[in-house]
Chain A
């Protein structure tokens, strides 16, 4: 250890502190005490323990700033000063800067001078460090930190005995102990997930706006109102008293929900027993028909409303290309932006088709969907829950995974994500929900609970093609649209290599759900 340049510089640090503050001389004492049983090398190591807060390089901060010492791009910062403190490119620079003057300005020192008992502070630092076991580093510094961490853990058995209870209570009233309440890692994860949530908001908002736009355009079209066929169904009941009408609507919605439930269970079974290829094929058919057929309906409406002349050859050629590119980018590969665009468009098409149902049916359907989602996700035997768990246990991706993962996986910052394990993920989620429980607003509430929720995508996945024959054609067409969302996806258990790609995920079902909600309201009231 002694040939490590860091330990040398650390020693000079230690001298510095001894002259500057009384607290660190106590550190020296404690290290001597430990050196009774340990080797000399250990002594220098434990002596550095007292400085950990000061000299630590915080790896998780990847914002590149200039090093305070040499001006090179810096990745590390003084843990005591936090974000507001100086940045460093290496521990060497930090040590140099420490002797140059940071020892006076460092908030650790100012804080330390308020400590009545140095060992209490020491203990506290240890506590912070040991809880900080998610630091993965690069190169020398990382190795150094890892080594040091093991020392901290080794040193712990002795220090609790030396640091008695009263000293520990002394530090509690310190103004700065918020650093203890929130682990630094937690703060970083908090920030990271805030970014993720923010990135999810954008496509959701976009999807909602798109579907409102589709709905308004379709209202403008006098002749080709997709509603008409379904309205014929109502006609029979129109003369009936209101209560039976509601009942009929309820039946219709329940029928759709029934399809959804059946298909969800079917998917779970297929997935569980490994018929992945069947699933993928199924999803491909669904996506293709959604893009092709619903795209065709929408395009016809738009052409009619704006009175654009176009021949069928051009139209079908364009549609075919549109659908094929969508299929390839969703199931195979394509630029991220393209994938996201397609997923957003598909969700809005899906929502558009749902709003073509009579409005009462849609409202009932929305309510039922919400209830079904709750059941499917929260119940111990909820199909979605089983789906997520089995994909996690067997480390197998849900075929539709790509689909949904991408939906939300908008350029997660790659550097940071390395550090996130699923456990940290959970802790973050807790802190998130406790710290800002009010987030339950529109779209972003979901990502928080996404572990479970994204799967709920299948909200829509319902309708199987076979069922279609039973319903009038137009309506059935709208039904078939619903499936795409089945692409839920999830699996946060992703292996480490995959972690980089995993951001927050949101099932397309959620996109569709909110879009239908808003579009339905827009259809009725804003015109």
Chain B
């Protein structure tokens, strides 16, 4: 049973993003390199957040607040970096004349952010799902927290992709679209806070949290598709 749990959870969490990776990113060296570097940026942001936590031992809600803000800050840094290198990157890309190059970079960087996020937050529970004993989810006592975590991880990786696409659309100078940026920050906060339901006393809290995440994902996907349509014009 434990080994089955392990593989089930691993594939639930990382299966869809891995499929995305192998189908779209893995063929292109440039995109893979971009992805790794964006993952590195996310790692720095979480390093800072964790050192703040280590010093202050803050409570969950506050921790979520500053770590999300730090992640958004590093998203901005990464955008700045990419926009500096953009000319060269576009020239070296597979299709230099495509209007979607910037969005492609955004997509890939989002995947990098998401992957690193998924690895850092979920690898420990995943490994312990092999071992003897399980941890049940507090708000949904019939489910293991491993499985809930797997679903949340998968959703958050996908969310990171759409956030990055939207944020890049919003950041673009000269006409910044602040509503995109605001949506990204707010939904990131919302998605993170909704995972706090898992350990709350509320009945079916985990279901609520996952539903909120799915709703965010739906809205973000629609918004980014609309944004990409505009790019094409």
Contacts and interface: CB of A to CB of B under 8 A. Distances in A.
Interface of A: 82-84, 178, 181-182, 187, 190-191, 194-195, 197-199, 201, 431, 435-442, 444, 525-527
A62 B124 CA distance: 46
Interface in B114-160: 123-124, 127
B40 A442 contact: yes
A438 B88 contact: no
Contacts of B78: 438
Interface stretch (B25-33, B65-73, B216-224): B25-33
Among B81, B88, B95, the most chain A Cβ lie within 10 Å of the Cβ of B88
B112 to A, nearest CB: 10
B1 interface: no
Sorting the interface of chain B by its residue count into under 10, 10 to 19, 20 to 34 or 35 or more gives: 20 to 34
B87 A84 contact: no
A182 B91 contact: yes
Contacts of A187: 88, 91-92
Contact of B37 (A181, A199, A441, A526): A441
B33 A444 contact: yes
A182 B88 CA distance: 7
Given A82-B96, A435-B85, 8 more contacts: A182-B87, A190-B88, A194-B29, A431-B88, A435-B88, A436-B37, A440-B40, A527-B127
B100 to A, nearest CB: 13
B232 interface: no
B113 interface: no
B127 A526 contact: yes
A84 B123 CA distance: 43
B40 A438 contact: yes
A525 B124 contact: yes
Contacts of A436: 33, 37, 85, 88-89
Contacts of B92: 187, 190-191, 194
Nearest to B123: A526
Nearest to B131: A527
A104 B21 CA distance: 40
A334 to B, nearest CB: 27
B37 A438 contact: yes
Nearest to B97: A84
Nearest to A440: B40
B41 interface: yes
Nearest to A441: B40
A201 B40 CA distance: 14
Nearest to A442: B36
Given A182-B88, A435-B85, A194 B95 contact: no
Contact of A197 (B29, B39, B85, B87): B29
A84 B88 contact: no
Contacts of A444: 33, 36
